[in-house]
Amino acid sequence: MSSAKDWAALLIKTNFKQQQLIGSYYKDVLRFMLSKFDSLVTLNSEDEITKVRSINATAERTVAKLYQENNIVLPLISISQDISTDDPDRIRPNFSVIPKKYWDSKRKRALRVVSYPPRAININYGINIWTKYKEDLDQVAEQVRLLFAPGLRIVTSKNNSTLAFIDREDDNSSLLVGDREDRILRKSFLISIEGYLEYPEYLITSTGQVKEFNIDLLSE
């Protein structure tokens, strides 16, 4: 058994698609986004650097927290996942399989591993910058634009080929004023990520059986 057609038939026969598919792609992408934007800073007139904190929150929730809590320090970046949809231009037939080979250094032999093609999706993220001063807003916005030149490469434990792009930039220049009459400036970016949801990989044994495969096991 060596053809992709035979492997696909075997996966279907073993009820591959009925298995529990629990992935961490969304969590991994969000974690990367938070760490990437958490590296931004602002510089004041005295050359003092202020680190910009990043949090996972919608714009509405951030506004509520800004006026309900007194310990939130600006500038601040809030990141939220909006929607995700299938990408018909990048999607591949789900009846085909992708064969791979891994070298098992412990057993000194190559392993045949197969999986269904990853599911192509587009994920939209809302990036909001919150500051008290226009100068800080411009500094952070400039750093955000420079991260996407033209795309930001998303690096996760699964791959490093996912790209993110700025779809739209909105200047929310109107002042947000709460009970404390603190002015807050806001600028928004809509980010589109062209990602892939990975199916589990399965090992094809010499007897034609299918076993769940985890590449981390090769290093043990």
pLDDT per residue rounded down to tens, the chain (220 residues): 455 555 555 554 555 554 545 568 888 999 999 999 998 999 988 888 999 999 999 888 888 887 777 677 889 999 999 888 888 888 766 557 777 787 777 777 788 787 778 888 999 999 999 998 999 999 999 999 999 988 999 988 777 778 999 999 998 755 555 555 567 899 999 999 988 888 777 777 776 666 776 665 555 5
Residue 80 Cα to chain centre, angstroms? 11
The token duo for 38 is 């958490």
What percent of the residues of the chain are helix, what percent strand, and what percent coil, each to the nearest 5? 25, 40, 35
The token duo for 219 is 């290093």
DSSP letter assigned to residue 105: T
- The label of the residue with tokens 């928004």 reads 188
C-alpha–C-alpha distance, residues 123 and 83, integer Å: 6
pLDDT value of position 216:
59
* Helices 134-147/25-37 angle, 10° precision: 130
pLDDT value of position 176:
56
pLDDT value of position 18:
46
pLDDT value of position 161:
78
**pTM, two decimal places:** 0.76
Taking the CB of residue 47, how many other CB atoms lie within 10 A of it?
6
pLDDT value of position 128:
95
Backbone angles phi, psi at 70, to 5 degrees: -95, -5
**Beta 183-197 vs 109-115: how paired, if at all?**
unpaired
Residue 96 Cα to chain centre, angstroms? 26
Element (H, E) at 115: strand 109-115
Longest Cα–Cα distance in the chain? 73
**Beta 119-131 vs 41-43: how paired, if at all?**
unpaired
Contacts of 200 (CB under 8 A, 6+ apart): 19, 21, 115, 212, 213
Contacts of 166 (CB under 8 A, 6+ apart): 144, 145, 148, 189, 190, 191, 192
